[in-house]
Amino acid sequence: MTRWASFDVYGTLIDWNAGIGAALEALWGAERAPGLLRRYHQLEPEIQAEEFRSYAEILTLTLERLALEKGLTIPEGESGILARSLPDWPAFPEVPGVLAELRERGWSLALLSNTDRDLIAASQRQLGAPTDLAVVAEDVGSYKPAHGHWERFYELTTADRANHAHIGASLLHDIAPANELGLKSVWIDRGGSDSHAHGAEATPDVQLTDLTGLPDALDQLVPA
């Protein structure tokens, strides 16, 4: 039996608050950055829901709307700063070791991410451990919490849902759709401004503050 663990990437494996926050700080200063980051995370899902655009476009448009709403000016040539900086956004410190341990325990690993193919390739290099599959918004023409990522995952893997658990940091984008699909889920609640997005109604099977306890938690959810 193949056991699959699928992961959200940004906020779960990659520290996007560090990446986005650094860009906001560079543009508008350290004092403003935390409040702007909170509002950024509210705006991005709204823009994703409007019509399908590439994630690079989503990043740029969200930044532009944020600036417009707050009466801020983006320096010339800097509206694409988030997409340019994304390849350097770091993985959380525990991620390489945990992914490696999951592979040692026999788990197959998939990434289900609201991003573009070229951007996920850059982020995969940051993870420090190989994964078996990546499905991105560009592949399916929709953004989570829509079910397109999971539908493509099952097309490609023919995985048994009983042997699959999904792991994510966002109740809205990951845990709620996992609930709707009847999947086991682990919520990584890192306490960031994106974790409780829009007060989504969602109930994970397990809640952790980082990935450190994930291998044991997954082995309990889906025993070998």
Q: pLDDT for 63-112, tens place per residue?
A: 999 999 999 999 999 999 999 999 999 999 999 999 999 999 999 999 99
Instruction: Indicate if 189 belongs to the active site.
Output: no
- Per-residue confidence (pLDDT) for residue 197, from 0 to 100: 55
Strand order in the sheet with 3-7: 133-136, 107-113, 3-7, 164-168, 184-188, 206-208
Residue 35 near residue 70 (C-beta atoms within 8 A): no
* Mean pLDDT computed over 110-124: 97
Task: Give the confidence band of 198 by pLDDT, cuts at 50, 70, 90.
Answer: low
pLDDT tens readout for residues 131-176: 999 999 999 999 999 999 999 999 999 999 999 999 999 999 999 9
* Average pLDDT value over all residues in the chain: 95
Q: How many residues does the chain have?
A: 224
- Per-residue confidence (pLDDT) for residue 201, from 0 to 100: 78
* Mean pLDDT computed over 4-14: 97
Alpha carbon of 31 to those of 5, 36, 91, 165, 219: distances in Å? Answer: 38, 10, 25, 39, 43
pLDDT higher than threshold 90 for residue 180: yes
Task: Give the confidence band of 191 by pLDDT, cuts at 50, 70, 90.
Answer: confident
Residues 6+ apart with CB under 8 A from 12: 167, 168, 169, 170, 174, 188, 211
State the catalytic residue, choosing from 8, 15, 116, 194: 8
Residue 8 near residue 178 (C-beta atoms within 8 A): no
Alpha carbon of 58 to those of 52, 138, 154: distances in Å? Answer: 9, 12, 26
Task: Give the confidence band of 216 by pLDDT, cuts at 50, 70, 90.
Answer: very high
Residues 6+ apart with CB under 8 A from 31: none
Task: Give the confidence band of 53 by pLDDT, cuts at 50, 70, 90.
Answer: very high
Nearest to 9 by CA among 132, 170, 224: 170
Q: For residue 145, is the peptide bond before it cis, meaning its omega torsion is within 30 degrees of 0?
A: yes
